Every structure is written in C-alpha cells, then in structure tokens.
Amino acid sequence: MKDQHEWSRGDAEERIREVFDDAKAGEAQIVRDSGGKFEIRFIPDNAAETLGQYLARGAPDEA
C-alpha cells in the first residue's frame, strides 16, 4: 500500500469518491492547487490521540 497519492485539483474534484475511499484505506491524499496543497486523511472516531496532539493541548490551567 502506498503512503500517499497526489491529485490535481481538477482530477480530485472529478474523482472525489476515489479520493475519500483511498484516504479511508489509509493512504494520505494530496490535492495540489495553485499556491499550495491540501492533505486529506481519514481519522476514525475511535482513533487514539497522538503524542503531538496531546502535547499541543498544553497543561491544564492552575486554579
């Protein structure tokens, strides 16, 4: 399985179901647009929080 797949914006718009299905299968989808790109990933509802996400939340406020 590939780690990611790249699309032009036009191709992604025409094949949006394939973009989403591939993302759900675990392949990041990169959509190139003028001036940048979009990255589409599927995150299941029961996904565990990553260490980076945990650390980005910061410490609880002290009372």
Q: Tell me, yes or no, if the pTM score tops 0.95.
A: no
Instruction: State the distance between the two ends of the chain, measured CA to CA, in whole angstroms.
Output: 49
pLDDT attached to residue 52: 82
Domains and CATH numbers, the chain: 4-57 (3.40.1620)
pLDDT attached to residue 1: 41
pLDDT values of the chain reduced to their tens digit, one per residue, 63 residues: 456 799 999 999 999 999 999 999 999 999 999 999 999 999 888 777 778 877 888 777 765
Instruction: Quickly tell me which residue has 């980076």 as its tokens.
Output: 52
Q: Which of 19, 22, 18, 30 is nearest to 1 (CA)?
A: 22
